[in-house]
Amino acid sequence: MVTREIIKIDEQKCDGCGVCIPACAEGALQIVEGKARLVKESYCDGLGACLAECPQGAIAIEQREAEAFNESEVRAHLASKKELTEPLPCGCPSAVSQDWETKGNASHAETPSLLSHWPVKLRLVSPGAPYFRHEELVVAADCGPFAYGNFHSDFLAERSLVIGCPKFDDLEFYQGKLTEILRNSGIKRIVVVRMEVPCCSALLTVVQKAVAASGREITVEERVIGITGELISTQN
């Protein structure tokens, strides 16, 4: 044991988004029970490449007694990890190849789209656009409309829509854009539709912060979709 600099994770701030994991070239971090954890002290070089990647500011550097950094252990650790077939720690469904039988036969009858406006990407929409005239807004993860077959019929009728990916996009930008939208519209209810993976839960947090910043009374509800397409949660 030596006294040295090593990372410290604030579990109260960590939301398990997993963004810090690929930032650690030594593989010292892992998501365990929904929180980022230091796998082994000897894997952490204490340089803090992961600090700037954490959107919640949950990682810091502290000086304490710990195992010495061991480069040979790190090499062995990285060599033992499976490549390509290993899912990301956050459980993102796009991180590993998988397939399953579809549920039932697809109908050949044309199903009309219930989308009422364009664009839908949160990065592209204008906060003052007239299509935010609806009283309800759906804020969906990019994967949601593809994973859930009844997305249009269940979520889009008489509602505005914005979509984004909380794992790869700028969450502060999302919050600012949503805040502007809410201040400039008559929206009274928001339905957050996200995937079941931990990193996607940040979408709800962003929406809640935007509502608070807007100063308006807006109801927020959450719907969670499983990676095989089932609606697994309808929490309010």
Domains, in order of start, for the chain:
2-86 (3.30.70.20), 130-233 (3.40.50.2300)
Tell me the C-alpha distance between 118 and 103, whole Å: 30
The CA-based angle 9-73-41, given to 5 degrees, is 20
* Mean pLDDT calculated for residue range 94-115: 62
Q: Pick the residue with more confidence: 201 or 233? A: 201
Beta carbons of 16 and 42 less than 8 angstroms apart: no
Region 79-103 average pLDDT: 52
Report the C-alpha gap between 34 and 198 in whole angstroms: 7
**What pLDDT shows up at residue 92?**
54
Determine the Cα–Cα distance for residues 34 and 11; give it in Å rounded to an integer.
Answer: 10
Region of poorest pLDDT, from 46-50, 152-156, 198-202 = 198-202
Whole-model pTM: value is: 0.61
How many Cβ atoms from other residues are within 10 Å of residue 72's Cβ? 8
The average confidence (pLDDT) of the chain is 85
Residue 225: which pLDDT band, with cuts at 50, 70 and 90? very high
Q: What is the pLDDT at residue 97?
A: 44
**Residue 204: pLDDT above 90?**
yes
Asked if residue 91 lies in contact with residue 198, where contact means CB atoms within 8 angstroms, the answer is yes
